[in-house]
Structure 1
Amino acid sequence: MTDIELKIREYLSDLTSAEQRAAKYLSSNFESALKMSVDDLAYNSKVSKATWIRFSKSLGYEGIKDLKKAMITNLQNAVNESQAKNESEFPELKNNNTIKNVVARITENSITAIRDTALLVDEQVVENAAKEIAKARSIRIFGVAASGVVAKDLAQKLTRIGKCVVYFEDFHENLLSTSCIQADDVAVFISCSGRTKEIVELLHIVKQRGAKIVAITKFGKNDLTEIADFKLIMSSPENEKRIGATSSRMAQLIVVDILYSTILKNDVQNVTKHLNDSYVISRHFKDLTN
């Protein structure tokens, strides 16, 4: 039983009759309800949208969106707890995994990560983070291991549109670079767990330097969500003990693309010039090597 279902059972008698109908519908349709809009929830449960909002607040959430964020976390925790019972084994390595099963599992996990991340996107936070990056003196990007691959992708994208970007793969180089960070810089930290030792160490230094901090991390309480000024939340159905980052990397890349596209839409004239210039240069090089 998830935390939300426990809350429903605990608070049920204190809810209005209409809220109780919403509660019973949610309990019976937990996973499918996650994919529904508030209009769909109201129609299918035969209670009003206002009732669903009141019901969400009665459970301690700010509204439907906040409730859905908690639902995603609840479902992920349930999966992780189930996998943890057999933590000595990696389910991906079972001998009965045919290529067909591998394709289906990877596809489903990636789709789930993308869909759930889309539900967690806070449009205003993305907009504010994009504006902060656009006006920054420089953008410092931090990510290690699999998150480093995503950090490098963001660095390449921002460089292409003329931003002053600093990104290092080596921790010691990152450590040295923090000494140059100023209050008019923006630091982007990418970490699925939000608790990676190297990232947390750099995070505290950057915070002391006064730069604005953008975090790309999973939903929940961690060092990044506690400290960052702008929290871009991603979802991942992966267990902590895994064969490698797969769906979590996909979710991070989706957030990067959303952030990058928002920066582009806010400054079309300037970014178009930079994009055209980068295309001409790269096209010329390709022509020379053909």
Structure 2
Amino acid sequence: MNCLVQIREAQKSYTTTEKIIAEYILEHAHDILNDSAQELGKKTQTSAAAVIRFSKKLGYKGFSDLKISLAGSQQNEEENIDAVLEETDDLSTLIHKCCQLNISTVQKTYQMINEKNLQKAIEYIINAQTVYLFGVGSSAIVAYDFSQKLIRIGKKAIYNSDIHVQMTFAESMSPNDVAVFISYSGMTTGLTGMAKKLKSDGIPCISITQNSKNIVAKNSTVNLFVPLEEKEIRIGAISSRSASLVMTDLLYYGVYKNDLQDNKDKLLETKDLVSRLLK
């Protein structure tokens, strides 16, 4: 994880005190590397306990662990790229902006990855009898793509683009299954209700959302976060889709690698079957 990216991307989830600590760290990243939690608490007019809680909220064992990650993140801080389209943009400018947007989104997605959470999510999918996928709008593309990948290696996966059909999945699910919610906002009507329902039923849930206080993530067993985009809606939808595809591809690779040779055989068998049926 890139600590600087992680701190910036989690801004919507911060309390007032956490915002003060986050802003100070982002502005004085190099200067605080030799500070103790107590010293940073004094500098931010908060407390050592608040600094430690902030560090743990980001997934670190404590402030010392955060500083180690922060030291390694200095050289990786990305440039602030303005990718909003303008009427005066010619085709060359459009191509450059789209390229930079995609590169920035993918880089930030990888820098935000929490490996422990990713590994937990992979294990849930491997051990699940059935993987149920939830997602609408641009997330539907990601959900469908992921379901097809899993099916081709013999993993039972169920997805339907109709949100009303997705709501009926709950009647068939058991604690031996796993739900994968793909929702950039984590606040999509229908998905929020499903997340609450499945949590109350004891169904393991994996969420892929932005890093914010959102209902889907709050009610999920494992959270995987994608970068927070505050661009134009037409740009944000592209970025969130790209970031979500990165995350589902990583889940797929993890599941595939778990039984490499068998999954290779299944892919070949699936390809051969499709070829024969199309003749």
TM-score calculated relative to the size of structure 2: 0.73
Q: Aligned pair 1:163/2:163, yes or no?
A: no
Letter in 2 for 1:280: D
Which range is displaced more, 182-191 or 259-268?
259-268
The 1:237/1:282 distance shift into structure 2, 3 A limit, reads same
- Does structure 1 retain, via aligned residues, the 8 Å contact 2:146–2:248? yes
> Contact 1:120–1:234 (CA<8 Å) still a contact in 2?
yes
CA–CA distance in structure 2, aligned partners of residues 214 and 192 of structure 1: 13
After superposition, the Cα gap between the structure-2 partners of 1:222 and 1:5, relative to the gap in structure 1 and judged at 3 Å, is closer
Larger Rg: 1
Cα deviations by residue, 1:162-218 (Å, 9 ceiling, x for unpaired)? 111111111121122221111111000000111111211221222222210001111
- Conserved? CA contact 1:114–1:254, under 8 Å: yes
Partner residue of 1:195 out of 180, 187, 198: 187
* More helix as a share of residues: 1
1:200/1:66 Cα in 2 relative to 1: closer, same or farther (>3 Å)?
Answer: farther
CA distance in structure 2 between the aligned counterparts of 1:151 and 1:232, rounded to whole angstroms: 15
CA change 1:196–1:272 in 2 (3 A) is same
- Quick one: structure 1 residues 8 and 161, their matched pair in 2 at CA, closer, same or farther if it must change by over 3 Å? closer
Structure 2 match to 1:174? 166
Q: Specify the alignment match of 2:131 in structure 1.
A: 139
Match of residue 7, structure 1, among 21, 30, 48: 21
Distance 2:40 2:255 in 1: 33
The separation in 1 between residues aligned to 2:225 and 2:257, in whole angstroms, is 21
The change in CA–CA distance for 1:9 and 1:232 in structure 2 (over 3 A counts) is closer
Paired residues of 1:121 and 1:232 also in contact (CA < 8 A): yes
Whether the 8 Å CA contact 1:125–1:232 is kept in 2: the answer is: yes
Check if 1:280 corresponds to 2:236.
no
Q: Quote the offset at 1:236 in angstroms.
A: 4.2
Q: Which amino acid aligns with 1:186?
A: V
In 2 relative to 1, CA 223–266 (structure 1 residues): closer, same or farther, beyond 3 Å? same
Note if contact 1:200-1:224 (Cα within 8 Å) is conserved in structure 2: yes
Shift of 1:232: 1.2
Ranges in structure 1 where 5+ consecutive residues have no aligned partner: 11-22, 31-44, 84-89
Q: Does 1:129 align with 2:121?
A: yes
**Corresponding residue for 1:242?**
234
Question: For 2:234, what is the secondary structure of its paired residue?
Answer: coil
TM-score w.r.t. structure 1 length? 0.71
Deviations 1:129-160 (A, max 9, x none): 11111111111000000001100011001111
Cα deviation for residue 237 of structure 1 reads 2.9
RMSD, aligned α-carbons: 3.5
In 1, Cα distance between equivalents of 2:156 and 2:123 = 15
* Cα distance, 1:269 vs structure 2: 3.1
Q: Distance in 2 between matches of 1:185 and 1:142?
A: 13
Q: How far apart, in 1, do the equivalents of 2:141 and 2:189 lie? A: 17
Q: Shift in Å at residue 64 of structure 1?
A: 4.6
Which SS does the other structure have where 1:197 is aligned? coil
The separation in 1 between residues aligned to 2:203 and 2:109, in whole angstroms, is 26
Report what 2:140 is aligned to.
148
Aligned counterparts of 1:9 and 1:134: Cα–Cα separation in 2: 39
The whole-number CA distance in structure 1 between the counterparts of 2:109 and 2:68 is 12
Shift in alpha-carbon separation, 1:230–1:103, aligned structure 2, 3 A:
same
1:225: how far off? 2.0
Partner of 1:96: 88
SS of 2:92 mapped into structure 1: helix
Q: Secondary structure at the match of 1:245?
A: helix
> For 1:22-171, what aligned pairs fall within 5 Å after superposition?
27=27, 51=34, 59=51, 60-61=54-55, 62=60, 63-64=66-67, 91-92=84-85, 94-171=86-163
